[in-house]
Amino acid sequence: NTRYRIALIPGDGIGTEVLPPACAVLDAVGERHGLTFAYDTFDWSCRRYLTDGAMMPDDGLDRIRHHDAVLLGAVGWPGVPDHVSLWGLLIPIRRQFRQYVNLRPIKVLDGVPSPLARATSEVDFVVVRENVEGEYSEIGGRLNRGFPDEMAVQEAVFTRPGVERILDYAFTTAQRRGGDVVSATKSNGIVHTMPFWDELVREAAGRFPEVAWRQEHIDALVAKVVLDPARFDVIVGSNLFGDILSDLAAAVAGSIGLAPAANLNPEREYPSMFEPVHGSAPDIAGQGIANPLGAIWSASMMLDHLGHPEAAAEVFDAFASVLATTGVRTRDLGGTASTEDFTRLILAAV
């Protein structure tokens, strides 16, 4: 019997409504696999910010540093600027815990319509996004604020170790999946960082001679993701390109409302964090109608990361079969089921 300590950060809005279903599913599948989960819940959120002046306590990161994983609901609430909620919680966790991989699986699921006329269940790929450096560096600022010659600069920083590790992760993933790697670039233009990225891709490809790869310029690539999503297996991109591609791909698959994300520290020096992609959804919060699938799918990714791919697959198969064989849906997918009813169905399938 293996025991895991999970840090739960429900956060704001529907974040607090989707984590209990995810935990229920974890407990159910865990029982069959000899896994138990001990949850510590942290009230870090915009609510906390509004009363205590900070999204989390000063020693917040220390309190979860030794957990086996973090499960996050959603952060963000009207009245709290995004940079407060993100810099106060999400981004420090990603960066201080060196979660340099942001992993987003993209699948067209039976029973979930895609906006594309010809999307099929062959659409099944992952976006591997660099998660801690690149275009989203902390370096930059403003000059001559308020004057006619005002300007703002932002430095994109790509380091050899930072790029090598995300590429190795992408090539390893493709190798495991028996697929290929597409690298998002923009080296035909002006930016100085992308030719460097391309060189490191060629080097990485040399370390994985059996994995096929190609590169695509980001502008052409977004077009191809729409025109022919089935041709992708692993797409690897910088922090910004990966950010754009992962939301685009989820939209193409029709699954933006149920998409999961993993923020991984593959070396396991620090806990990794799993979070549904949907936000706190103030418009439907408190009504018990949120779709729990983003959180449940994220929990499935957590199982995989903890070394239990079979349990992970059972969770995925359970909700995929509910979607494929029943018409029961939460409101975001056009149905009328409550979070609770829908969760019950999934628990039965697990």
Ligand X SMILES: CC(C)[C@H](C(=O)O)[C@@H](O)C(=O)O
Residues lying near a copy of itself in the complex (CB under 8 A) are found at 82-83, 86, 91, 113-118, 135-138, 140-142, 147-161, 186-193, 195-197, 218-220, 222-224, 226-227, 240, 243-244, 246-248, 250-252, 256
Q: Which of 12, 68, 233, 243 is catalytic?
A: 243
Residue type, 166: I
Q: Give yes or no: 100 in active site.
A: no
Residue 133 near residue 158 (C-beta atoms within 8 A)? yes
Nearest CA-CA partner of 44 in 81, 21, 74? 74
Which residue's CB comes closest to ligand X? 189
- Closer to ligand X by CB, 124 or 275: give it: 275
Among ligand X, a copy of itself, none, partner that 192 touches (CB below 5 to 8 angstroms by kind)? a copy of itself
- Please state the length of the chain: 350
* 286 vs 17: CA distance, rounded Å: 8
Residues 83-91: contacts with CB under 8 Å, at least 24 apart: 84/46, 84/49, 84/55, 85/12, 85/46, 85/49, 85/55, 88/49, 88/54, 88/55, 88/56, 89/9, 89/11, 89/44, 89/45, 89/55, 89/56, 89/60
Q: Give yes or no: 341 in active site.
A: no
CB of 286 to a copy of itself, least distance (A): 23
- Closer to a copy of itself by CB, 193 or 298: give it: 193
Q: Which of 247, 317, 332, 341 is catalytic?
A: 247
Q: What is the number of other CB atoms lying within 10 angstroms of the CB of residue 73?
A: 28
- Closer to a copy of itself by CB, 186 or 308: give it: 186
- Closer to a copy of itself by CB, 58 or 190: give it: 190
Q: Collapsing DSSP states into helix, strand and coil, what is residue 142?
A: strand
Among a copy of itself, ligand X, none, partner that 159 touches (CB below 5 to 8 angstroms by kind)? a copy of itself
What residues contact residue 259 under an 8 Å CB cut-off, 6+ apart? 104, 106, 246, 250, 276, 277, 278, 294, 297
Residue 22 near residue 347 (C-beta atoms within 8 A)? no
Terminal-to-terminal C-alpha distance of the chain: 19
Q: Give yes or no: 317 in active site.
A: no
- Closer to a copy of itself by CB, 174 or 273: give it: 273
- Closer to a copy of itself by CB, 118 or 176: give it: 118
CB of 326 to ligand X, least distance (A): 30
Q: What Rg value do the Cα atoms of the chain yield, rounded?
A: 20
Residue 104 near residue 250 (C-beta atoms within 8 A)? yes
Q: Give yes or no: 168 in active site.
A: no
Q: Which of 4, 49, 100, 136 is catalytic?
A: 136
CB of 101 to ligand X, least distance (A): 13
CB of 283 to a copy of itself, least distance (A): 15
Residue type, 225: V
CB of 290 to a copy of itself, least distance (A): 18
CB of 143 to ligand X, least distance (A): 24
Q: Give yes or no: 283 in active site.
A: no
Q: Which of 186, 233, 270, 304 is catalytic?
A: 186
Residue in this structure with the two tokens 């600027």, named with its chain if needed: 81
Q: Kindly list the residues in this chain that would bind ligand X in the complex (CB under 6 A).
A: 86, 188-189, 219, 243
Q: Would you name the residues annotated as active-site residues? A: 136, 186, 219, 243, 247
